[in-house]
Structure 1
């Protein structure tokens, strides 16, 4: 049976290298082991601990080939990692050492790396393997390793090589030198139809190695992926690497231009040097001719000849044991013994870091293509954000990146990014020597699209309205109609996945997505057929229905996890519903279905803006149940700057649910109202809401609803009664027997424990609890909660005088709070105290003034008790340090600061150890 390979091989290290304190001096850099520091041109260069550990191990063995397994065992001995970790560290080292040409750290393909530079001096006893030969000594003229080796950087040779000298040595060690040398002599005489020199290949070193390993154990390997992802170039690179491993050669058969499947066998035969007539016995004759040969056959671009190619390969596997077949196709052959290698896009950086970004394949390719026209182009701090965003928007697809780079001389990087919305028109004019279907992105997509059946084309077109990922249920709702039922959609979706036009994102529940270029093509097709607006309406309606769900008692944390992946789809559906051809009632339905969504993804401010936009449309004409659900969503947004509005919305929802005799809806609304009034310290309103909720509570309902009531009581004790010991007792009682990774309100009860510790002055306990909470993903998957926990942790660290760690925690809390809860004053109360205790009194005074100004604005912040304590202590320190006139001047300056300005002032950017 065929099988898909796992993404990367996994190695478990079991040994470690020694650690010696020393300073090693090299011509352009130093390795300071005492400080754990790399210095280039006298300046420290920041490296991750594992990257520095790798550098240490390389430096201990200059000139010696260090295998991948050895390096992984030396650096990651206590953890399981993939080869990606090693490759990333090597890329970081090369970037830090400016080793673009790989003169310092060279790759020996499929074997490892050589640190090809020796120290010119050292301090203290350095345990170096100085007996290992350097580059000039390690290999004599006959056995030398080529200087340029494949790792996916612009200056290197395009492909890896076969280490002939290594094979000789291995043969000698096993006593089989004569037989091995004979084999080598035969392999060097092998013929092939490969290019004399391969073009550079970027970011595919691991794929080349993995594919070569698969060919060692599998007779048939199919490289599968969408158009333009680089299947052909990867397969050719592997064939080039293995060109000396097959006595009868490595042969590429290009099939894209072959329109008639009957011509497949004669075409393959002709490439192999045989003449086969177009007859029924042609395949048998071909297999007879090659049955005793040792060769690698590369069948390139088989997607339009799958049936014939599958028949051919099946016969070769059965009757020609020395032949291995490498296939490239958008769809697998689906034959026995086929090993499927699904090719991923080039790696794209997660962050816009000018130092790390050039180590990623997508950026390497983009830069190399621009440098072909402008050798001076580099990635720097001024353009790295645009470069990374371009690569991300193009999904790391090599063909799209090449086309985009070709437009950079005309548009510039920033202009190119702004024009990407016109991608199908923009991404044209590729290499004139490329196949016609690859000379424009539209051409590549049209080729793939033309291979689909009419029903598959219809489903593909309709999937174009999805943004980001989508569920199977959503695909069925949007793509089905009177002519295509929902079960047929499943079959067509599976076929599109098989043909690499729809990607699968594996998880507990699989989700699907179209590449951005494919999505643009599908939308274009919908527009041409005049069905775009109708499909967008169906998308919005389906999304509102799916997000609402049919489980009345769905636990809030489970709901957050279920609907969070659809944020991008909600944005697309809302944009249509609010647009000129949209529908206001569908907009209300979407808004009513998004409670918990904004909190889950940390965009509560975006949710608040949406609700305010839609609110005028919720009137007497709105169905009461829909209105009730809308006001509940508003109430449950949990924007601390809108507590009064949310509390009023909760009561409004409760009244509507009561009018519908919906006991559960009224209960949920009243508990939310009780929470909000407690935060506002409105005792009477909070007690009234909680009393009303408890009267509706049904013992037959799920237990998490009891926990929601318990959480109300914890909040009352802490915020209204100011009794942290009572709040702690109630929280611990509520937590008994709960699985916190499955409990929304249990998590919130737990978060109250460090808050109680802080209020009672037990800062060590508060810090310990915060650390425990941050280590559990069920809490931190909510951006709002993570911000709150980091704020508490920062406060504990301030009071424990660990200012460096406090600054890191509070910086993160303030950054997250900007979107999670609007720029809240709460964490800045702790920031002001941190600044005051650090002696940055002017900054502390301005921060306090910014807080005061926010409290005077129309939108007033809610500040919890512990933050009030930090504010008061910071105020006392500042007021005692300045005269009244100075205080007034600083207050005036601080009041004028924006959120971004006060944040930049509190947490200045640090470059090379100097704050600015």
Structure 2
């Protein structure tokens, strides 16, 4: 759900109360903060501590959209969890509160949750809360015409409509009073032409509730979204719920088959059973017909008659204050008083827990349609990951999901997933009663595409080469040419957003994206015109230039934040550059510009594979500056599995920058060399690199470069000289005036403080430093920073005896470090000590044997070198294990451990609960 000019989200209170509160009272339940207890109808409900913590955070922010990341940070600050943990807690809360219809805790697809209830008398209401939805009564479904229509229909008019409505005075006219509404008799049944029963909807409860509220305050509400997203079904469901709230009925006008906008007015009149002529007099006649009435007019599928629909609705709401208009369209009407409601796709889970997945509308719809084709179908552990991936790749679009589920009975779920790349051919065969354009996915996209101007079509086609989101500047570079300049691209992009063919991702700097099915259609259009390869080249060139940037002094953390959203685009551009029609130099340019991108997204191993592929192409034929940047990227990659190679790459980069007389480039390269040689404990090489870097540093350069030198000195003192006190002194001096999260090298200095504490045995201080880093914003932008912090946090917790908290920290650290820096041995030293504390001595012995085996094969790689702060834990665990078993037992366990892979070791240490 995405709301424009919404009256719902205004000035809500941020907390339950400014005073200290022990119990919060709600209708039907209480939250006892002091006891950490939820009481429903005075009965205590058993909630896990994390579930109650989630409830408390929701209760502190009633009426406010709380993002998933915010909730996860609030409840699981000390550990790393997936969205599934949050979904599970929400499910438990809804079960405890009997909130099956999601009226208390509402899901906002792809965004988060809203706690839509407030304590009784404890919070002042600012703005407007949504009222409870009306309760409609089912009836036999006949089309019923109220008396006002019957009186207006000539005797010869076809239809023979019969009036069964006793007019009631209830009105949504803001000018009417509550007394007037209460004094009017209620109709025996509501007028209108809606069917008595509506098909079930999945995952739309919050959308329907929001639209009900908007119709209370807005005379015109437009439900806007791309084709197939479910606008018609949602609007009909809202109209069905509200049918008893309008004395003169709810009237549906279906416009999809209307080929001439001039026929709009007669078509609407005909629904009322009234015959009128074309032209301005016809519109005036229609306005006169409804001006004193209280009704809801639902205009469905207006995008191809937008101008005429806007005129009709404007005239009606201006003259008829009792009329509400609910419109569905791919594009807003753009008229006064219009409330725009952009309908989002159905929510899709991020992982494949079959129980949690069923809380998501996309999965519910898929299962329902799959069971319609095959009554034996169920979602279980064997197919949950495939079903989730199918719904993810279909962007949660209901029409596409329905097609896919129907095909699943023929292809099987795995076969369906494998063939999704052929989606425009695969997803066909919709219901025969559906609109022709909704009988195939291509038909739905072709309908929307046909409403565009030729330049809009061109821009749309070219945007198809983007993967994931893209910036406005990138869109201008890729979509402009001699006929469409960069300013025109902005206009056409805005129009595509308006028409729901391009989605907007909110944020400080907006980014844009095409739904995957729309992207496949755009690529098909590019292919048919022979423009695909040229557009992909333009995309790769623009991306390489954008990632490189034009500011050599850009602070690394700022750079990470700027380039991190483009990972998917890098993958697409690299795939083209490495392909048969690609360009090797562009591939090198892309690789040279992505050194910090991989760590920001947690895929350093992927970056390492890319660099290995491209490295043979970097020879004398490459421009010197490009080659220097490439070797710098290898040295700067946060993949700490081949430290010697990275150190050599730093020296290569420095040499090439010297050839270019680039003092700054040499300086940056030598600071990287210090880091790598410190990891290798190579005193002479580290000292030489540090001395050169210090000599090159210029006081006129930005201050973050001074901090990078300080980090080099910290590393030398800690790893080379073995002086944690001196390292801590230098780090603290560098951190004066620094806030965690505002400087890349400052954060790395901060990270060395718990390392020093661990080496000195001050475990409480180490834990405080780790918690400070984990609370910072930058920890989410570097998987390596997070994994290393969790390693030391877990170590401190083990030493402090808090085994319950240490286990999830170390589990997360081991998982994250696999992609962040390679399968490092270091965290498993603490894991061995953890298992000893848990009494799992045999498993601890196997892990120690695995560590020993890797050290024998290490060749001085960083991954198998145990840093000073881990040696004590390793030795402590080894001593306990050696004294617990006989020689024969130790030999057997050692043999078993030496044969394990890192994945097997991790699974053994942290078995699934």
Q: CA deviation at 1:610?
A: 0.6
Structural RMSD (CA): 3.2
2:387 match: 387
Equivalent positions of 1:76-475 (< 5 A) are: 76-80=58-62, 82=64, 107=101, 180=181, 182-186=183-187, 188-475=188-475
Residues of 1 paired with 2:273 and 2:255: CA distance? 17
CA distance in structure 2 between the aligned counterparts of 1:497 and 1:354, rounded to whole angstroms:
34
Shift of 1:191: 1.3
Within 5 Å, give how 1:760-775 maps onto structure 2.
760-775=760-775
CA contact (8 A) 2:136 2:243 kept: no
Q: Secondary structure at the match of 1:432?
A: coil
Distance 1:6 1:168 in 2: 26
Would the aligned equivalents of 1:8 and 1:210 in 2 still touch at CA under 8 Å? Answer: no
Does structure 1 conserve the Cα–Cα contact (< 8 Å) formed by 2:603 and 2:820? Answer: yes
Q: Is the 8 A contact 2:136 2:244 kept in 1?
A: no
Using the size of structure 2 for normalisation, the TM-score is 0.85
- Residue 728 of structure 2 is aligned to residue 725 of structure 1: no
Cα distance 1:577–1:212, how it changes in 2: closer, same or farther (>3 A)? same
Encode CA deviations 1:739-768: one digit per residue, 9 max, x unaligned: 332200000001111111110001111111
Does structure 2 conserve the Cα–Cα contact (< 8 Å) formed by 1:536 and 1:573?
yes
The answer to whether the 8 A contact 2:221-2:341 is kept is yes
Alignment of 1:801-812 (within 5 A): 801-812=801-812
1:48–1:411 CA distance, 2 compared to 1 (3 A): farther
Change over 3 Å in CA distance of 1:427–1:573 after alignment to 2: same
CA–CA distance in structure 1, aligned partners of residues 136 and 37 of structure 2: 30
Distance in 2, matches of 1:896 and 1:222, equals 63
CA distance in 2, matches of 1:550, 1:607: 23
Distance 2:296 2:104 in 1: 18
Question: Which residue of structure 1 aligns with residue 131 of structure 2?
Answer: none
> Does 2:869 align with 1:887?
no
Q: How has the CA–CA distance of structure 1 residues 234 and 426 changed in structure 2, closer, same or farther, with 3 Å as cutoff? A: same
Q: Name the CA distance, whole Å, in 1 between partners of 2:264 and 2:371.
A: 40
Separation (CA, whole Å) in 2 of partners of 1:598 and 1:22: 42
Aligned with residue 908 of structure 1, among 895, 908, 911 = 911
1:563-578 alignment, distance < 5 Å: 563-578=563-578
Q: Partners in 1 of 2:643 and 2:856 — Cα distance?
A: 16
User: What is the deviation of 1:376?
Assistant: 3.6
1:97-130 residue CA offsets vs partner (Å, 9 max, x unmatched): 999xx99766598999xxxxxxxxxxxxxxxxxx
Q: Select between 348-357 and 252-261 the one with higher mean Cα deviation.
A: 348-357
Say which SS state the counterpart of residue 303 (structure 2) adopts.
coil
Alpha-carbon distance between aligned partners in 2 of 1:886 and 1:697, rounded to the nearest angstrom: 57
Instruction: Find the residue that maps to 1:281 and give its secondary structure.
Output: helix
- Tell me how far apart the structure 2 counterparts of residues 523 and 832 of structure 1 sit (CA, whole Å): 52
- Partner residue in 2 for 1:49: 51
C-alpha displacement of 1:302: 0.8
Q: Does residue 901 of structure 2 align to residue 898 of structure 1?
A: yes
Aligned residue in 2 for 1:37:
46
Cα distance, 1:491–1:439 mapped onto 2, change above 3 Å: same
Residues 426 and 183 of structure 1: CA distance in aligned 2, closer, same or farther (over 3 Å): farther
CA shift, 1:691, in A, is 1.1
Pairwise CA distance, 1:395: 0.8
Contact 2:51 2:90 in 1 (8 A): no
Q: Per-residue CA shift, 1:349-400, capped at 9, x if unaligned? A: 2332222211111111111111223334332222222222111111111111
State the alpha-carbon separation in 1 of the partners of residues 104 and 801 from structure 2.
51
Q: Distance in 2 between matches of 1:619 and 1:570?
A: 23
Secondary structure of the structure 1 residue equivalent to 2:354: coil
Alpha-carbon distance, 1:51 to partner: 9.3
Give the match's secondary structure for 1:201.
Answer: coil
> How far apart are the structure 1 equivalents of 2:89 and 2:376?
22
Alignment check: 8 A CA contact 2:31 2:37 kept: no
Distance 1:145 1:752, change over 3 A: same
Q: 1:358 to 1:682 in 2, by over 3 A?
A: same
Give SS of 1:612's match. Answer: helix
- TM superposition shift of 1:334: 0.8
3-state SS, counterpart of residue 223 of structure 1: strand
Q: Hey, what's the Cα distance between the residues in 2 that align with 1:25 and 1:485?
A: 63
Gap change, CA 1:792 and 1:415, over 3 Å in 2: same
The size of the alignment, in residue pairs, is 820
- Separation of aligned partners in 1, 2:716 and 2:102: 66
SS of the residue 1:339 aligns to: strand
Q: Do 1:466 and 1:569's aligned partners in 2 also have CA atoms closer than 8 Å?
A: yes
Mapped contact 2:602–2:819 kept (Cα < 8 A): yes
Q: For the Cα contact (< 8 Å) 1:608–1:637, is it kept in 2?
A: yes
Alignment check: 8 A CA contact 1:403 1:429 kept? yes
Secondary structure of the corresponding residue to residue 280 of structure 2:
coil
Q: Deviations over 1:471-495 (max 9, x none)?
A: 1111111111122111111111111
Q: Structure 2 vs 1, CA of residues 111 and 520 (structure 1 numbering), >3 Å: closer, same or farther?
A: closer
* Stretch of structure 1 that moved more, 854-863 or 452-461: 854-863
Secondary structure of 1:653's partner?
helix
Contact 1:604 1:819 in 2 (8 A): yes
In 2, are the aligned partners of 1:51 and 1:90 still within 8 Å (CA)?
A: no
Q: Output one character per residue of 1:766-802: Cα deviation in whole Å (capped at 9) or x when no partner.
A: 1111112111122342111100000000000111111
* Shift in CA distance, 898/110, structure 1 to aligned 2, threshold 3 Å: closer
- Following superposition, the deviation at residue 82 of structure 1 comes to 4.1
Q: Paired residue for 1:604?
A: 604
Distance change in 2, residues 1:23/1:655 (3 Å)? closer
SS in 1 for 2:484: coil
Contact 1:96 1:355 in 2 (8 A): no
Query: How far is 1:5 from its partner?
Result: 2.4
Q: Distance in 2 between matches of 1:879 and 1:725?
A: 33
Distance 1:784 1:109, change over 3 A: closer
How far apart are 1:676 and its partner, in Å? 1.1
Structure 2 contact 50–89 (Cα < 8 Å) conserved: no
Shift of 1:888: 2.1
The alpha-carbon deviation at position 168 of structure 1 amounts to 14
Map of 1:706 onto structure 2: 706
Structure 1's unaligned 5+ residue stretches are: 39-45, 54-73, 113-142, 149-166, 170-175, 911-916
Deviation at 1:75, TM superposition (A): 8.2
Give the whole-Å Cα distance in 2 for the aligned partners of 1:668 and 1:382.
Answer: 50
Structure 2: distance between partners of 1:144 and 1:583:
63
Task: State the distance in 2 between where 1:833 and 1:479 align.
Answer: 57
Paired position in structure 1 for 2:143: none
Q: 1-side partners of 2:86 and 2:732: how far apart?
A: 48
Deviation at 1:839, TM superposition (A): 1.9
How do residues 763-912 of structure 1 correspond to structure 2 at under 5 angstroms? Answer: 763-857=763-857, 860=861, 861=863, 862-910=865-913
Normalised to the residue count of structure 1, the TM-score between the two structures is: 0.85
8 Å Cα contact 2:634/2:646 also seen in 1: yes
